[in-house]
Chain A
Amino acid sequence: MLDLITNFLASDFRTATPILLAAIGLVYGQRAGIVNIGAEGMMLTGALAAVVGSFWFGSAWAGALLAMFSALLISLIFAYLTISVRADQVVVGTAINILGLGLTTSFARVIFGVNTAPPKIDAFEPIAVPVLSKIPLIGPVLFQQNALVYVALIVVPIAYFILFKTDIGLKIRAVGEHPKAADTVGINVYRVRYGSVMVSGLFSGLAGAYVSLGLLSFFTENMVAGRGFIALAAVIFGKYNPVGALGASLLFGAGEALQYRLQASGTDIPFQFLLMVPYILTILALCGFVGKSQAPAASGQPYVKE
């Protein structure tokens, strides 16, 4: 029984990590008043870039860096159109998603060819932390994961601290709640928003790298499979807070982990219903099983400096 729980929780942390990584970045965007539904496309871009980077340079870390860089570039397009041009954030986000799908599907085909066996690439393998990984339950769940899982877990408290305990965090939150007031006290609204979108781009890219180099070790078309949107839901469900996002990600990750578990155990339930679980869970969570979550007041609103 303990084995079962241990396995399930370890698997939960693995499936929650890409959602968590993206959600941490999205919390910053949201707090600054930016609804970034383009996270899915940014993750997808990151997923391919990571594989390409690992393929070219022979290192998963190089892949992760290239992923973050590519997603950062995409996020700059998003930032320019939504912040400077003041175009609708949802529309631009949708365009980013379509762009991500188009770029990754085409370039994957051009770089790796059609119908060829995927090349062997360096992926993120589990690293057992000495001593700690030997602790029952906690060891396998928290200390026998791959490096990006550790990165995500370490970043959560840091992201929390920056957002709620520092000047920068205060500025970000002010811009999201009341950009005009923030402007009046001398905060550069545009700069803060650009920065927040770039943060969400970097983390989306890393999340994408995790999907292609942490969960699998290759790129397949549209492989992010809605995790960018689920991350957005995790931000709302987690009340726009990195720690809350961790809890929400673990919940949504549990849906996916449960699906793997049930499939492996050879249940009679058709696998398609199991595949639906994460999405249904996301809808249920959004429907407010834990009370209302209040978005920042200026969420989705472009800011016009007068």
Chain B
Amino acid sequence: MAKRNSVNVVDKLGEGLKSLSLPLLSIISALILGAFVILAMGLDPLSAYQNLIKGSLGSVNAIGETLVKTTPLLFTGLSYALARRCGLFNLGAEGQLYMGGFFASVVGIYIKGLPIFVHLPLALIAGFIGGGLWGLLAAWLKLKFGASELITTIMLNYIATHWISYLVTGPMKEPPGDFPQSAQIEISAQLPRIVAGTRLHLGLIVALIGIGFFYWFLWKTTIGYEVRVVGENSEAAQYAGMNISRNALLAMFIAGGFAGLAGSSEILGVQQRLFQNFSPNYGFDGIAVALLGQNTPIGILLAGILFGILRSGANMMQMAAKVPIAVIYIIQALVIMFVVGSNLFNILKRKRIVAAIAKGGKLEC
């Protein structure tokens, strides 16, 4: 008996290590392949990666900047993961991020004279709702008209970016209007800096709370449980009397809300104004974050930091090693491919075990 227990512990530890080893293997493989791509460009991959690390972790300021980039990635990662847990593909985080930034800006700019402990939460909630409604729209179009969210979310991204472009060149343009940007966010709605000498702001803490909420909602509440059942087996969920439409709407609202917070924290914490293209594709980065993090809270946190490192080190990489920033997209895509590719080994292994059991063998390995 004692032996069996100890075996279980070892098994569990092994499982844990294995669930970490696949993502790690994917990252390493992606970096190696990325190095060959950099070589193909006639550039030096070693110098590229050195500068990437130096630029992201080489000083307090660099680490602060890495966490600044991590913040929106955590939100968009949560956004994709939450929808995925409900069986939906949210490819619209980018647009939801912009709508969140828009809502937060409206509250942050045009409401004046509030104390920070009222104004800031209000602006964040507005951002959540803005992104949430944009996500909800896609879910509604799917449920009501059968329009696939794969395409509608993407189309809504383009609509949102053009909408922001209209706002900052038109109605929300800062007087006297020399630049296509909004007026500054009121101080009382700005996310305060939390480490002196860096741009690191309170948004990171909000993102960590978001991760906590993600865990609590999906694994500790009845509604969250239903969302997961719908995602894993919608027929079973229907059979059990769960309201699939309601769950889908709710999941897309929260998913959009997370993305909206990515936009709000970027506006309220970093940019302090609304302008065009303030997100360098954070919405799509979130997909890679969630996939690498396997839609789990801890996984998303680690993956968010990793992609934050890539993002913040990329500038130094481009300046010092002349390697274009866009190389990090290649690495990101490769990470995704290796993650989904390595899942093959999982499937094969499970099959072999199942086959062994079916052959009448005992459960001992």
CA distance A196 to B347 in the complex (A): 26
Across-interface contacts of A276 in B (CB, < 8 A): 158-159, 162-163
A95 touches which of B91, B155, B336 (Cβ 8 Å) = B336
Q: Do A85 and B340 contact each other (CB < 8 Å), given the known contacts A99-B329, A102-B327, A102-B329?
A: yes
User: Lowest 7 CB-CB distances: which A-B pairs, in order?
Assistant: A102-B329, A105-B326, A99-B333, A87-B340, A102-B330, A287-B145, A272-B166
A286 touches B148 (CB 8 A): yes
Task: Report the minimum CB–CB distance from B361 to chain A (whole Å).
Answer: 21
Min distance, Cβ B293 to any Cβ of chain A, angstroms: 13
With A110-B324, A282-B151 known as contacts, the answer to whether A94 contacts B336 (CB < 8 A) is: yes
Which of B144, B155, B169, B324 has the most C-beta atoms of chain A within 10 angstroms of its own C-beta?
B155
B165 at the interface (CB under 8 A from A): yes
CA–CA, A288 to B82, complex, Å? 27
**Proximity bits, A75-102, B CB within 8 Å = 1, else 0:** 0010001000111101110111111011
State whether A107 and B41 are in contact (beta carbons under 8 Å apart), knowing that A91-B291, A286-B147, A287-B145 are contacts in the complex: yes
Name the one of A105, A229, A236, A288 contacting B155, with C-beta atoms under 8 angstroms: A229
Q: Which residues of A contact B204 (CB under 8 A)?
A: none
Q: Is B141 an interface residue (CB 8 A)?
A: yes
Contact yes or no, A287 B147, CB < 8 A: yes
A226: which B residues are within 8 A, CB to CB? 154-155, 158
CA distance A37 to B144 in the complex (A): 23
Q: A86-B344, A226-B158, A232-B151 given as contacts; is B330 within 8 A of A273 (CB)?
A: no
Measured between alpha carbons, how far is A196 from B363 in the docked complex, in Å? 43
Interface of A toward B, CB cutoff 8 Å: 35, 37, 77, 81, 85-88, 90-92, 94-99, 101-103, 105-107, 109-110, 225-226, 229-230, 232-233, 236, 270, 272-273, 275-276, 279-280, 282-283, 286-288, 292
- Whose C-beta in chain B lies nearest to the C-beta of A114? B324
Report A122 CB to chain B, min CB distance, Å.
25
Chain B positions within 8 Å of A286 at CB level = 141, 145, 147-148, 151-152
Does B282 make an interface contact (CB < 8 A)? no
- Evaluate whether A283 and B326 lie within 8 angstroms (CB atoms) in the complex, with A90-B89, A98-B288 already known: no
User: In the complex the two chains form, is B327's CB within 8 Å of A233's CB?
Assistant: no
Question: Once the chains bind, are A94 and B145 in contact (CB under 8 Å)?
Answer: no
Interface size classification for chain B: 35 or more
Render B331-343 as a binary contact track against A, CB cut-off 8 A, 1 for contact.
Answer: 1111011001101
Tell me whether B337 and A283 are in contact (CB under 8 A). Answer: no
Q: How far is the CA of A280 from the CA of B156 in the complex (A)?
A: 8
Closest residue of chain A to B167, judged by CB? A272
List the A side residues contacting B284 at CB < 8 Å: 94, 97-98
Contact sample, A vs B, 21 pairs, CB 8 Å cutoff? A35-B150, A81-B341, A94-B336, A95-B340, A98-B284, A102-B328, A102-B331, A106-B37, A106-B323, A226-B158, A229-B155, A232-B150, A273-B166, A276-B159, A279-B156, A283-B155, A286-B145, A286-B152, A288-B146, A288-B147, A292-B146
CB of A105 within 8 A of CB of B159, answer: no
Beta-carbon contact of B158 and A92 below 8 Å: no
Pairwise interchain contact A270-B170, C-beta atoms closer than 8 A: yes
Hey, which chain B residues are within 8 Å of A37, CB to CB? Answer: 91, 150
CA distance A106 to B131 in the complex (A): 31
Question: Is B42's CB within 8 Å of the partner chain A?
Answer: yes
CB-based contact B337/A95 at 8 Å? yes
**Quick one: which of B89, B291, B337 has the most chain A CB within 10 A?**
B337
Q: Which of A101, A232, A292 has the most CB of B within 10 A?
A: A101
Kindly list chain B residues whose C-beta atoms are within 8 Å of the C-beta of A90: 89, 150
A interface footprint on B23-61 (CB within 8 Å = 1, 0 otherwise): 000000000000001000111000000000000000000
Q: How far is the CB of B344 from chain A (nearest CB, A)?
A: 5
Which residue of chain A has its CB nearest to the CB of B141?
Answer: A287
Tell me whether B330 and A279 are in contact (CB under 8 A).
Answer: no
B255 adjacent to chain A (CB < 8 Å):
no
Task: Give CA–CA (A226, B95) in the complex, Å.
Answer: 13
| Among candidates B151, B340, B347, residue contacting A229 with C-beta atoms closer than 8 Å | B151
Contact status B340-A279, CB under 8 Å: no
B300 within 8 Å of A (CB atoms)? no
B287 close to A94 (CB less than 8 A): yes
Residues from chain B with Cβ under 8 Å of A95 in the complex: 288, 333-334, 336-337, 340
Give A110 to B165 CA distance when docked, in angstroms: 29
- Taking a contact as CB atoms under 8 Å apart, the answer to whether B146 and A102 are in contact is no
Q: A86 to chain B: which residues have CB within 8 Å?
A: 344, 347
Chain A residues contacting B287 (CB-CB under 8 Å) are 91, 94, 98
Chain B residues with Cβ under 8 A from A233's Cβ?
A: 151, 155
Residues of A contacting B343 in the complex (Cβ-Cβ under 8 angstroms) = 85, 87
Shortest Cβ distance from A110 into B: residue: B41
Q: A residues within 8 A CB of B166?
A: 270, 272-273
Most chain A beta carbons < 10 A, residue from B37, B43, B330, B347: B330
- Indicate whether A88 sits within 8 Å of B324 (C-beta atoms), given known contacts A110-B41, A282-B151, A286-B148: no
Please give the distance in Å from B359's CB to the nearest CB on chain A: 17
Q: How far is the CA of A87 from the CA of B340 in the complex (A)?
A: 6
From B162, B327, B341, A272 is in contact (CB under 8 Å) with B162
Q: Is the CB of A94 within 8 A of B91?
A: yes
Contact yes or no, B326 A109, CB < 8 A:
yes
Residues of A within 8 A of B147 (CB): 283, 286-288
Whole-angstrom distance between the alpha carbons of A233 and B151 in the complex?
A: 7
Instruction: Decide: A280 and B159 in contact? CB cutoff 8 A.
Output: yes
Given contacts A276-B159, A283-B141, contact A87 B333 (CB under 8 A): no
| List of B residues within 8 angstroms of A282 by Cβ | 151, 155
Chain B 115-153 interface mask (CB, 8 Å, partner A; 1/0): 000000000000000000000000001001111101110
